[in-house]
C-alpha cells in the first residue's frame, strides 16, 4: 500500500537525546534512552532501555525477581535468549527476533534471566503506561516468536517489522485501545530509500537509531541526521514522518519508530511501580512488602 505517500507536513525533529549508560537488575549494563524527565513529553511511554554486549560479564547475572505494578513492559530481543518467569504462573523463552509483552496490572514479581553463557545479547525494553482505570487489572503475558511478528517491504525496499499498531497495510502483533501504540523496527537498504509513516497529530512519537544513521526529512526535504544510539523526539505538528538512511552512514541503517496516544494523566513513579498518586504508590510498596503482588 502507498497511502503514506500523501504526507503533506512531515514532522520535524524537536530534540535529539543521547542515552545514559547505567546498570539494572543484577548489574546488567545498558543504555537508558527514555528517562523519567521525558515521561510527560513522551506520554504514554515511561522508559526505553537498550542493552547490547558481546561480553557475558555485562549481562550474565540478568534480572532476578523484581516487582512491577501499573504499566506494561515490551521486551524486543535482537540477539540472544532470555527466560521469563513470574508469580502469576507465566513462563516463556524470549529468543532472537521475538517479543515479550507483559501487562503488570495490579502487580506481579518476575525474573528475566539469560539462557546463554556466551555470544551477543542485544535488545530493548519499553515501558508503556496503563490508564488509571486499568492499573489494577489482572496481569497478562504473551511471548511472540520472531515468526509471529508481521512484516512488510515497501516499494523502495525498506523492510519493517510491526510489533504494534499498523503500517503499510500490515497490522501488528499487539494492539492497545487506550494508548494505540505504534512500534516498528525499520531496516533500510543501501542508498537513499525513503520511508513514510502517517501519525495522528495528537500522538507523541520518537525514533531510536541502533544501526548506522538515519535522516528525518521536513516538508522541503531538508534532513536532520539522527546519529547511532541517539533518540529523536518528533514534534507534534505534522501528519507523519519521512525517514531515509543518512548518506554519511557507514553501516546499514536500522531504527525503531515508536508512537502512541497520550493518556494525559498524572504519573507517580517509585522504581518499578507507576501509578497516578503518591497514596497508590505507598499501597503498592506495602502490598509488595507483604507478599500481595501476584
Q: What is the pLDDT of residue 222?
A: 95
Contacts of 235 (CB under 8 A, 6+ apart): 11, 12, 13, 14
Contacts of 274 (CB under 8 A, 6+ apart): 46, 69, 70, 71, 127, 129, 135, 267, 268
Contact status, residue 228 vs residue 33, Cβ threshold 8 Å: no
Q: What is the pLDDT of residue 2?
A: 38
- The reply to whether omega before 44 is within 30° of 0 (cis) is yes
- pLDDT tens for the chain, 294 residues long, are 334 457 999 999 999 999 999 999 999 999 999 999 999 999 999 999 999 999 999 999 999 999 999 999 999 999 999 999 999 999 999 999 999 999 999 999 999 999 988 999 999 999 999 999 999 999 999 999 999 999 999 999 999 999 999 999 999 999 999 999 999 999 999 988 999 999 999 999 999 999 999 999 999 999 999 999 999 999 999 999 999 999 887 778 999 999 999 999 999 999 999 999 999 999 999 999 999 887
**Domains and their CATH numbers in the chain:** 9-289 (2.60.120.10)
10 Å CB burial of residue 55 (0-12, 13-18, 19+) is: exposed
Find the distance separating the first CA and the last CA of the chain, reported in whole Å: 44
What's the CA angle centered on 276, arms 63 and 38, to 5 degrees? 65
Q: For the chain, how many residues are written?
A: 294
Phi, psi of 269 (to 5 degrees): -125, 135
Contact status, residue 192 vs residue 243, Cβ threshold 8 Å: no
Q: What is the pLDDT of residue 20?
A: 92
Q: What is the pLDDT of residue 61?
A: 93
Amino acid at each position: 500500500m502507498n497511502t503514506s505517500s500523501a504526507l503533506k507536513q512531515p514532522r520535524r525533529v524537536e530534540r535529539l537525546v543521547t542515552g545514559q549508560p547505567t546498570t539494572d537488575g543484577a548489574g546488567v549494563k545498558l543504555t537508558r534512552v527514555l528517562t523519567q524527565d521525558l515521561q510527560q513529553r513522551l506520554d504514554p511511554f515511561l522508559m526505553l532501555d537498550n542493552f547490547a554486549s558481546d561480553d557475558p560479564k555485562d549481562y550474565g547475572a540478568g534480572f532476578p525477581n523484581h516487582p512491577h505494578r501499573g504499566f506494561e513492559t515490551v521486551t524486543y530481543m535482537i540477539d540472544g535468549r532470555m527466560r521469563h518467569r513470574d508469580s502469576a504462573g507465566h513462563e516463556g523463552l524470549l529468543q532472537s527476533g521475538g517479543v515479550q509483552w507483559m501487562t503488570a496490572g495490579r502487580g506481579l514479581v518476575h525474573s528475566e534471566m539469560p539462557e546463554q553463557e556466551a555470544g551477543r545479547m542485544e535488545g530493548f525494553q519499553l515501558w508503556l503506561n496503563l490508564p488509571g482505570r486499568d492499573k489494577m487489572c489482572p496481569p497478562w503475558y504473551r511471548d511472540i516468536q520472531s515468526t509471529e511478528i508481521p512484516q512488510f517491504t515497501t516499494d523502495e525496499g525498506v523492510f519493517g517489522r510491526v510489533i504494534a499498531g499498523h503500517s503499510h497495510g500490515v497490522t501488528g502483533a499487539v494492539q492497545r485501545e487506550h494508548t494505540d501504540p505504534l512500534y516498528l523496527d525499520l531496516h533500510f537498504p543501501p542508498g537513499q530509500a525513503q520511508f513514510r509513516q502517517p501519525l495522528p497529530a495528537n500522538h507523541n512519537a520518537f525514533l531510536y537509531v541502533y544501526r548506522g544513521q538515519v535522516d528525518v526529512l521536513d516538508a522541503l526535504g531538508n534532513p536532520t541526521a539522527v546519529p547511532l544510539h541517539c533518540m529523536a523526539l518528533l514534534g507534534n505538528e505534522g501528519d507523519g514522518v519521512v525517514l531515509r538512511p543518512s548518506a554519511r552512514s557507514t553501516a546499514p541503517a536500522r531504527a525503531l519508530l515508536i508512537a502512541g496516544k497520550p493518556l494525559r494523566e498524572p504519573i507517580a513513579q517509585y522504581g518499578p511501580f507507576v501509578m497516578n498518586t503518591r497514596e497508590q504508590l505507598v499501597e503498592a510498596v506495602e502490598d509488595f512488602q507483604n507478599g500481595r503482588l501476584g
